[in-house]
Amino acid sequence: MTLLFQLLVNGLIVGALYGVVAMSFVLIYKASRIVNFAQGEFLLIGAWTCWWLLTSWQLPFWIGFPITLAFMLAFGVILQIVVLRPMIGEPIISVIMVTIGLSIVFQAAMKWMFGVFAKPFPPIFASPTMNLFGLEVQTVYVMSLVISILIMAGFGWFFKYSRVGLAMRATAFDQQVAQSLGISVRHMFAMSWAISAMVSAVAGVTVGVVNGVSSALSFFGIKVFPAVILGGLDSVIGAVVGGLIVGVLENMAHYLDSQWLNWGNMYEIAPFYVLIAILMIKPYGLFGTKDIERV
């Protein structure tokens, strides 16, 4: 029971991180109807940038981390303006193929710049673990949980009360109507990519501190995809719920596999099995909007 409770707590903490990255997926999709298959590479670039600042420039984490977030914010804006803005008006499948191409280019660039082997972060906390309700939990995971909750609360306030957030919601609802009301659709697109890149960097640094930084970090984006589809591709709340469900499922599957099944790969594939089952019952996800078309 102690192991089960430990895995449940780990699942909720990792699930909150999944939820944050899933919100980044949803943010871009709601604003531009694009599924960004380079989301995992945003995590990778953010992690490598922070690692480089801490190791090459010897900056403390509390300085290097904010610089990383600022860099990723600018990186998202530049990427949208230079690469994706010229694709406005093109078929969606063309834009999706561009994001797949960006994923490959970013992967190759990171391997060329930093190598293919995992590199550990320098020590950040005085104690690598801390006691939480009688359980030993890595300090960075507790930090990520706090940051994830703050980001989720920030997203809620941003979309409900801020002018930019309301403008982004209007753009997601109807681009032509938003433009007729004086909202710059191009600026909203750039803002969505910037916020998505910055938030993904938070997750990338967190996972990198725990497991080291390597190209395998980009696979995190693929692992989050079931959470996005599960919650609903256009629902921010669904992204959070889907992330928590996938995080808990992974750890419960690990518990089941280690105790009884001994298959060895349930941790990786369980979310995808549940994804298929949910989509057979609710094709738009748990909180997704049904799209009814008349033909």
Give whichever of 26-30, 31-35, 117-121, 175-179 has the largest mean pLDDT. 117-121
Domain membership flag for residue 18: yes
Q: Where are the alpha helices (DSSP H) in 128-184?
A: 139-161, 163-173, 175-180
Domain membership flag for residue 60: yes
pLDDT score of 268 more than 70: yes
Using pLDDT thresholds of 50, 70 and 90, give the confidence band for residue 279: confident
pLDDT score of 210 more than 60: yes
CATH code, 208: 1.10.3470
pLDDT digits (tens, 9 = 90+) for 129-149: 887 777 777 888 888 888 888
SS3 per-residue string spanning the chain? CHHHHHHHHHHHHHHHHHHHHHHHHHHHHHHHCCCCCCHHHHHHHHHHHHHHHHHCCCCCHHHHHHHHHHHHHHHHHHHHHHHHHHHCCCCHHHHHHHHHHHHHHHHHHHHHHHCCCCECCCCCCCCCEEEECCEEEEHHHHHHHHHHHHHHHHHHHHHHHCHHHHHHHHHHHCHHHHHHCCCCHHHHHHHHHHHHHHHHHHHHHHHHHHHCECHHHHHHHHHHHHHHHHHCCCCHHHHHHHHHHHHHHHHHHHHHHHHHHCCCCHHHHHHHHHHHHHHHHCCCCCCCCCCCCCC
Using pLDDT thresholds of 50, 70 and 90, give the confidence band for residue 293: low
Q: What percent of the chain has pLDDT over 90?
A: 41
Q: What percent of the chain has pLDDT over 70?
A: 98
- How many structural domains is the chain composed of? 1
pLDDT the model gives residue 19: 92
State the chain's mean pLDDT as an integer. Answer: 88
Domain membership flag for residue 124: yes
What average pLDDT does this structure show over 41-55? 96
pLDDT the model gives residue 242: 92
From the number of C-beta atoms within 10 Å of its C-beta (0-12, 13-18, 19+), residue 58 rates as exposed
Domain membership flag for residue 294: no
Using pLDDT thresholds of 50, 70 and 90, give the confidence band for residue 291: low
pLDDT the model gives residue 29: 87
CA distance 279 to 219: 22
pLDDT score of 265 more than 80: no
pLDDT the model gives residue 68: 97
pLDDT score of 75 more than 70: yes
pLDDT the model gives residue 145: 85
Structure tokens at 236: 């921010």
The pairing of strands 129-132 and 135-138 is antiparallel
Domain membership flag for residue 188: yes
pLDDT the model gives residue 294: 60
pLDDT digits (tens, 9 = 90+) for 14-25: 899 999 999 999
pLDDT digits (tens, 9 = 90+) for 81-95: 999 999 877 888 898
Domain membership flag for residue 22: yes
Domain membership flag for residue 292: no
Kind plus residue range of the DSSP H or E element containing 80: none
Domain membership flag for residue 256: yes
Tell me which residue range forms the domain holding 17: 2-281
CA distance 295 to 241: 33
pLDDT the model gives residue 83: 93
Q: Are 249 and 274 in contact (CB under 8 A)?
A: yes
Structure tokens at 174: 């109807």
